[in-house]
């Protein structure tokens, strides 16, 4: 490959959630598999390539996926495990450049512009990353290499699975211009229809279109943005990961739920999942937000500020559950079709050097939660589950996968699985 002044990699793990499940359970290899919530309201968060043969894809309603493939294996998401593997993947990425911008658990931009002396060309780095991911983690990653983020992302999208596509700066326009305009970032269905009305269907036609006319038809900001992209102009830097502003989990239920105890169980499970996600990122939250949606789609939210930042799902759950009565009253006591728990005002997780009695209890809860994460990562999310008996929290060993999994009775609720806000798309 010829040298690039700027060399950007877009690395995208192939069918990540499903691939982790097939790695951890070899009996699932070669089978059509999805990770996601229960039908009828659940959606596919990730689909193995065996499932994609049937036209199954991320964000598809689970009931439709099961109709397309009756022998489909559905697994509940194990976010703690995916986060653990993601950290291993990103450690490989960062061994070649400090400039790694994570887009999700399984996707990142890597700026290798200054890595040539140590690690070779961008193409050589991409090949080495692919080799290490395969040999060290038994997983597959597709990588696009280009002179900017846009080209690298399009390149990785076009060569999956297990792909490596390199686009040099002097080849960029020849690569971009034959592509449909919808390949550009910011061109959705509505914009695609607007461009088609102007006779624009390819990136090349968009690049050749008079700029001022385009701005007058699409608006100055959108028109200028798309015209620049069509000419290969994308100066966005690769920005090393900044902590997210919030993390959350929510369920859309298979039926509207009116029972307070059942709703509390669901909210508790959601809060504990949020705690897992916080600990996976080494973050703590100061504010808990509860979201409730009624059967007629009215939405109310309630917030509670904690005494100190925490990643302990028990503390988050207690706060969220106290907000439930107020949210339900605001909805007139209506049955709920959705609840969600979000943690906000996030900061790096730190334990104070001198702890008060209450702070020591919080710290012990955080430490216990991290120990449980380690057990769940090794043995599965259901190796330890929190039971409720007369208001006391008990830890109980149970075989099998997370509640609601195939061939298993759901012991927590009939509300389905926590929705994955960012789907495992590739």
Q: How far apart are CA 257 and CA 324, in angstroms?
A: 13
Strand order in the sheet with 283-294: 246-257, 336-348, 283-294, 299-310
User: Which residues are within 8 A (CB) of 338 and not within 5 positions of it... i.e. 6 or more apart?
Assistant: 250, 251, 252, 253, 291, 292, 293
Distances 41 to 77, 123, 261 between C-alpha atoms, Å: 15, 43, 21
Secondary structure (DSSP) of 45-71: EEE-HHHHTTT--TT-BHHHHHHH-TT
The angle subtended at Cα 141 by Cα 17 and Cα 174, nearest 5°, is: 125
Q: How far apart are CA 343 and CA 422, in angstroms?
A: 16
User: Which residues are within 8 A (CB) of 26 and not within 5 positions of it... i.e. 6 or more apart?
Assistant: none
Q: How far apart are CA 32 and CA 26, in angstroms?
A: 13
Q: How far apart are CA 103 and CA 405, in angstroms?
A: 28
CA dihedral 170, 160, 247, 391 (to 10 degrees): -170
Distances 231 to 206, 387, 404, 422 between C-alpha atoms, Å: 9, 58, 49, 30
Cβ distance 169 to 152 under 8 Å? no
Q: How far apart are CA 357 and CA 130, in angstroms?
A: 49
The angle subtended at Cα 360 by Cα 357 and Cα 365, nearest 5°, is: 130
Q: How far apart are CA 132 and CA 138, in angstroms?
A: 9
Active site residue 107: yes
Q: How far apart are CA 44 and CA 74, in angstroms?
A: 9
Token representation of residue 389: 């008996």
Q: What is the DSSP letter of 239?
A: -
Determine which one of 107, 250, 272, 276 is catalytic: 107
What is the set of active-site residues?
A: 107
């Amino acid at each position: 490959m010829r040298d690039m002044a700027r060399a950007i990699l877009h690395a995208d793990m192939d069918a990540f959630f499903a691939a982790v499940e097939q790695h951890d359970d070899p009996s699932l290899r070669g089978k059509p598999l999805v990770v996601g919530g229960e039908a009828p309201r659940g959606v596919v968060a990730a689909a193995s390539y065996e499932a994609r043969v049937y036209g199954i894809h991320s964000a598809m309603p689970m009931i439709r996926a099961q109709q397309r493939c009756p022998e489909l294996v559905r697994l509940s998401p194990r976010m703690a495990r995916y986060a653990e593997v993601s950290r291993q993947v990103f450690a490989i990425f960062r061994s070649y450049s400090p400039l790694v911008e994570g887009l999700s658990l399984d996707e990142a931009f890597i700026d290798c512009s200054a890595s040539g002396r140590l690690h070779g060309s961008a193409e050589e780095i991409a090949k080495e990353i692919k080799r290490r991911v395969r040999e060290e983690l038994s997983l597959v990653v597709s990588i696009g290499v280009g002179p900017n983020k846009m080209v690298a992302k399009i390149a990785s999208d076009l060569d999956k699975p297990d792909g490596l596509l390199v686009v040099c700066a002097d080849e960029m326009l020849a690569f971009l211009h034959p592509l449909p305009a919808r390949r550009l970032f910011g061109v959705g269905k509505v914009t695609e229809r607007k461009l088609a009305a102007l006779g624009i269907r390819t990136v090349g036609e968009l690049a050749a279109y008079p700029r001022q006319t385009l701005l007058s038809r699409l608006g100055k900001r959108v028109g200028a943005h798309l015209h620049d992209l069509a000419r290969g102009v994308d100066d966005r830097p690769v920005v090393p990961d900044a902590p997210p502003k919030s993390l959350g989990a929510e369920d859309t239920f298979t039926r509207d739920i009116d029972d307070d105890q059942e709703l509390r169980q669901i909210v508790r499970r959601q809060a504990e999942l949020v705690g897992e996600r916080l600990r996976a990122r080494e973050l703590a939250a100061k504010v808990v937000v509860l979201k409730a949606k009624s059967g007629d789609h009215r939405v109310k939210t309630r917030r509670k500020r904690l005494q100190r930042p925490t990643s302990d799902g028990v503390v988050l759950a207690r706060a969220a559950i106290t907000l439930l009565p107020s949210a339900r009253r605001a909805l007139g006591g209506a049955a709920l079709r959705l609840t969600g728990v979000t943690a906000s005002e996030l900061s790096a997780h730190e334990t104070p050097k001198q702890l008060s009695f209450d702070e020591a209890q919080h710290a012990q809860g955080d430490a216990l939660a991290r120990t449980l994460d380690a057990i769940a990562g090794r043995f599965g999310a259901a190796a330890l589950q929190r039971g409720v008996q007369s208001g006391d929290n008990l830890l109980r060993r149970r075989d099998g996968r997370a509640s609601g999994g195939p061939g298993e009775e759901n012991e927590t609720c009939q509300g389905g699985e926590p929705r994955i806000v960012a789907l495992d798309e590739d």
